[in-house]
Amino acid sequence: MVMLICSPPMEAAYKNLMHDTFRLGPPLSLIFFAFFFVSACRYKNQEKIAIVWSGNQATGISVPIQLLKDEDESPVVPELEVRLQNTPAAMLGDYSISDGVVLFRPLIPFSRGLRYQIFYRKKMIGGMTIPVANASEAPSLVAIYPSADTVPENLLKIYLQFSSPMREGEAMRHIALLNSKRDTLEGVFLDLQPELWNKDRTVLTVWLDPGRIKRELAPNLQMGNPLQNGESYSIAVSDHWKDVQGLTLRQPYSRKFFVGPRDSLSPQHREWKMEIPAKQTIQPVKISFPESLDYFLLAETISILDKDGSVIKGKIHIDPEERGFAFLPEKQWHPGRYRMHIAPYLEDIAGNNMERLFDRDIRKAQTSTGKEVFEREFIIPRQ
Amino acid sequence: MNLGERSYFSAFTDGIGIFVTRFQNRYTEKRINDQSKQTFMKKTYFYLAIIAGSLLTIAAVHAPTNRASVADIKSISALTFGPDGVLFIGDSKSATVFAVNTKDVKKQKPTAIEMKNIDQKIAAALGTEATNITITDMAVNPQSKKLYIAVQASEGTPVLLRLEGDKIEAVSLKDITATAVVLNNAPAEDAKDQRGRSLRISTISDLGYSEGKLLVSGLSNHQFSSSFKSIPYPFTSKQDEATLEIYHAAHGRYETSAPIKTFTTAVVNGRKYLVASYTCTPLVLFPMDELKPGTHVKGRTVAEMGSGNTPIDMITLKNGNESFLVLANTKHPVAKVDYKNIASFEGTLTEPVKGTAGVNFTATPMTNVSQMDKLDDNQVVLIQKKSNGDVDLFTANGSSL
């Protein structure tokens, strides 16, 4: 067991774990666990400078102390520097000593494909290149939402979903909207910094410029709606877009879509069709809509409750073109009344939610209900 | 570089942080020339584990509910200084604002802050290339006049840096106390997709501090609407925060709720206003005394700054007795608006116009400004991409913009 634990990758992992206990404050048991194994594992007999990995990130460099000794003198760690090759500045980071090595952890992980040099008392004592990531792990564009091939001319949002975490801050360099003549349209997307990524950086929300969609706002009058009814367009995603490991997308992507009339209506939940499952089954209740709704909001805004008001546990599967969904319960349906709750902020793909339109004509009477939730009832029959 | 220097994410409670630091210093600032010391160190790890665990237990039991670990910072989208060296860090990824006491409170006279090719120099200090980092925000400490810079690496790690003259240094928060307020305290509502991934996407677009209140504006993927909060500071375990519905009208005809991208506060005609700019560049005024919890506040649109553009930063500067608003944009040049004109523009935009409208503003020759903050009442610090591609940090006098 000790042999296994003290193999270099595991050893590095436990080293990192040790640092993380100070950084992350996990449960006590983890601290004791970490300290126990750290005390058992050493960088025994390490003779060379080595990269320390945390998962697929190079988060440190370990330097054997004997490399820092000058004849009779013992090493002075503050005189150790790690530099990116061809730059004069020492990298910022954290040095610590234990078990015969100095461990340097930079503020951010080392970059794949770049070379680093280690200096002691201004003299280079070693260098290393961080290997590029395995090309087989290259990211792909999993989905573009809305997935329908026809969208309203006041389409507000597009979601791009990737297979692995992507780099932030460069989306506008890699996404383009082309018209039917294959001309790239300028000023269509809102250039937001920071970009709207989800926590694990796999889903990006891109807004079409709302200033151009909002009627009679200066950008709308000056440049017009980004999309025109009756036209076709393509959204193109460049294969130069890199993931967090520095790997580019597997291939460029392009999807053609058509544009229909403006959508100036809120989603009408009373028009949704329901397909009711039989009792004592785990068949889904199926809902279909006359229009496409927002893919990500659907999963967030819908809940099914039993007659006592308890939320039924289950999963929602969104239909193609986001024109419906199936709710699959974890447990069998019992006969009786159920309610489907819809949060008022569920939107169609033009940004009209259950309560209000994306832009309201204030000369017309407002029909806001002030409801906290919209509801549809259904009954699982006894027969 | 000092031995024992650690990233600011390293410490998780004051007690533990200080203890660890002392422990590290004990073993790292001295020369290592004695094997017996290493043996002692091994034993000490074990005792340290017990003591650290005990301290953690004590901290967990007695820590105030809003005491925060800076180790929890997942991203830095916005920075602003509050009173007495308190730096507010807006963390979009965890939907939290951290208030950290930088203890950087020694009053200094403002001196021009400059650094050519700042993107490359920061990248070198982080051991990477400029294309692999993004400067997400910067803020001048109003007391020490030092510039704090938030950077995000392309793989996602956030970093807080500070300029000391021409030197870039990491801001170590290891011994610094922090409190926090969670903006979206509803993990139970955090929907997941079929693969268990969180669907909620939001960012903190700007932070401000005014008269004991932290002001936070946000963007979200799930609603095209204003997420604006006013939170009393110091934070308490029971937050009395105001979430506002803010609307503005386009030419008196269409009304929309929209996210605020950047804002500042200013006194106009003796009344304090929130001056907000939107993703689609209208400039809208809201009286501060009307921003109360649960209210539906309609702002007064005083200007439209033009199309194809997103505002980036907004500050108020003075020139003698006169004050003016300075607005940096993604596409348009830096714009200046005289508050006298805002004060005299009593109405709201009512007629549809092409191009720009409302209060007159001056487009300065300054283009491609990505970050901006005030150094003092008269000077502004900017990061600008020059025509030759260089990204420079420099200080300018507001009146000469």
DSSP string, A180-206: TT-PBPSS-B---SS-EE-TTS-EEEE
Distance between B319 CA and the closest CA of chain A, angstroms: 30
Q: Which of B224, B226, B227 should one mutate to test binding to chain A, selecting the residue with the greatest count of A CBs within 10 A?
A: B224
| Structure tokens belonging to residue A76 | 């002075």
Average confidence (pLDDT) over A124-146: 95
User: Are the Cβ atoms of A245 and B16 closer than 8 angstroms?
Assistant: no
Distance CA A179, CA B151 (A): 36
- Interface check for B189 against chain A (CB to CB < 8 A): the answer is yes
Among residues 108-127 of chain A, which lie with CB inside 8 Å of chain B?
108-111, 114, 116
Distance CA B337, CA B371 (A): 18
Q: Which residue in the set A95, A316, A361 is minimally distant from B3, CB to CB?
A: A95
Given this model, what pLDDT does residue B390 score?
96
Instruction: Determine what percent of chain A is predicted with pLDDT higher than 90.
Output: 61
Q: How many residues does chain A have?
A: 383
Tens of pLDDT, residue by residue over B50-75, are 444 444 433 333 333 466 677 778 89
Q: Which residue in the set A21, A111, A211 is minimally distant from B128, CB to CB?
A: A111
Distance CA A76, CA B33 (A): 10
Given this model, what pLDDT does residue B149 score?
98
Distance CA B53, CA B12 (A): 12
- Interface check for B203 against chain A (CB to CB < 8 A): the answer is yes
Tens of pLDDT, residue by residue over B358-384, are 677 888 889 999 999 999 999 999 999
Comparison of pLDDT for B34 and A281, the residue scoring more: A281
Tens of pLDDT, residue by residue over B155-209, are 889 999 999 999 999 997 666 778 988 876 443 344 454 444 455 566 788 999 9
Q: Which residues of B245-266 are buried (b: 16+ CB within 10 A; e: fewer)?
A: ebbbbbbbbbbbbbbbbbbbbb
Average confidence (pLDDT) over A198-218: 81
Instruction: Determine what percent of chain B is predicted with pLDDT higher than 90.
Output: 34
pLDDT grade, residue B268 (50/70/90)? confident
- Residues with Cβ within 8 Å of B330's Cβ and at least 6 positions away in sequence, in order, are A191, A193, B309, B310, B311, B312
Judge whether B383 and B371 are in contact, CB under 8 Å: yes
SS3 content of chain A, % helix, strand, coil (to 5): 20, 35, 45
Distance CA B245, CA B293 (A): 9
User: Are the Cβ atoms of B280 and A209 closer than 8 angstroms?
Assistant: yes
* Out of A202-206, A281-285, B8-12, B248-252, least confident range: B8-12
Average confidence (pLDDT) over B267-272: 84
Find how far residue B130's CA is from the centre of its chain. Answer: 21
Angle CA B381–B387–B392, to nearest 5: 30
Tens of pLDDT, residue by residue over A296-341, are 889 888 999 999 999 999 999 999 999 999 999 999 999 999 999 9
Q: Which residue in the set B121, B189, B254 is minimally distant from A362, CB to CB?
A: B254
- Interface check for A329 against chain B (CB to CB < 8 A): the answer is no
pLDDT grade, residue B226 (50/70/90)? low
Q: ipTM for the complex? A: 0.78
Give the residues across from A145 on adjacent strands.
A159
3-state class of A9 per DSSP?
helix
- Interface check for A302 against chain B (CB to CB < 8 A): the answer is no
Average confidence (pLDDT) over B26-31: 30
- Kindly report the average pLDDT of chain A as a whole number: 84
**Helix spans in B74-217 (H):** 118-126
- Residues with Cβ within 8 Å of B253's Cβ and at least 6 positions away in sequence, in order, are A215, A216, A361, A362, A363, B352
Tens of pLDDT, residue by residue over A9-41, are 333 433 333 333 333 334 434 444 444 444 334
Given this model, what pLDDT does residue B237 score?
66
Contacts of A129 in chain B (CB under 8 A): none
Given this model, what pLDDT does residue B184 score?
62
Position A353: which residue type?
Answer: N
Given this model, what pLDDT does residue A20 score?
32
Q: Is B19 left (phi over 0), alpha (psi -120 to 50) or beta?
A: alpha
Contacts of B331 in chain A (CB under 8 A): 191
